[in-house]
Chain A
Amino acid sequence: DAKTTQPTSMDCAEGRAANLPCNHSTISGNEYVYWYRQIHSQGPQYIIHGLKNNETNEMASLIITEDRKSSTLILPHATLRDTAVYYCIVRANNYGQNFVFGPGTRLSVLP
């Protein structure tokens, strides 16, 4: 079973920041938080991951709370092409670990 809880769906206005929350209250000390997204009928796309520090790349920012029990993915200026299902996954970066996907959050960016 997935170890994360996400809202089923969210809307965001085009050009505004999209803030996608994720709860992972049972996360272990060696588990990373990963975010992927899946645009309709395509393979999941890697967005970002982090352990405990906040992370930023060209796609998004990841904010992890100090207790690591929750995180937020931020798309700073959402576009219509960001409409997708966003998956938050926790996983240890150990040999042989796989990704356990939950149902994710369906983000709709509205014009």
Chain B
Amino acid sequence: ETGVTQSPTHLIKTRGQQVTLRCSSQSGHNTVSWYQQALGQGPQFIFQYYREEENGRGNFPPRFSGLQFPNYSSELNVNALELDDSALYLCASSPGGLAGMETQYFGPGTRLLVL
């Protein structure tokens, strides 16, 4: 167990809807990263937050957005859902901020199905 929790575990939405996924980081970790993993592929980096600021972004459109809160918990929001957004969404936390402190610890993921 990594101490990283995500909710909900599963979710079904329809095309065009909006969704919010939640992540609680491991105690003492101030950096959170979000990844999307389509079936049969490796995780793909969406973005990272450090101390409530976006700190890097992958090749995802602006309808993917995030927040990090003062307690370092985090949200991933996806607007205007598309069928291809169906995937496992992973949250990973790390101590962050210093070189050599960047090992990321992943949560169990939220499986999103868009119909």
Chain A residues in the interface with B (C-beta under 8 A): 2, 34, 36, 41-46, 49, 87, 91, 93-104
Contacts and interface: CB of A to CB of B under 8 A. Distances in A.
A43 B106 contact: yes
Contacts, number: 66
Q: How large is the interface on B (under 10, 10 to 19, 20 to 34, 35 or more residues)?
A: 20 to 34
A103 B103 CA distance: 20
A42 B42 contact: no
A98 B34 CA distance: 10
* Interface residues of A, dominant DSSP: loop
B107 interface: yes
15 contacts: A2-B42, A42-B109, A43-B92, A44-B43, A45-B106, A46-B106, A87-B42, A91-B102, A93-B101, A96-B50, A96-B55, A96-B56, A98-B48, A98-B58, A101-B43
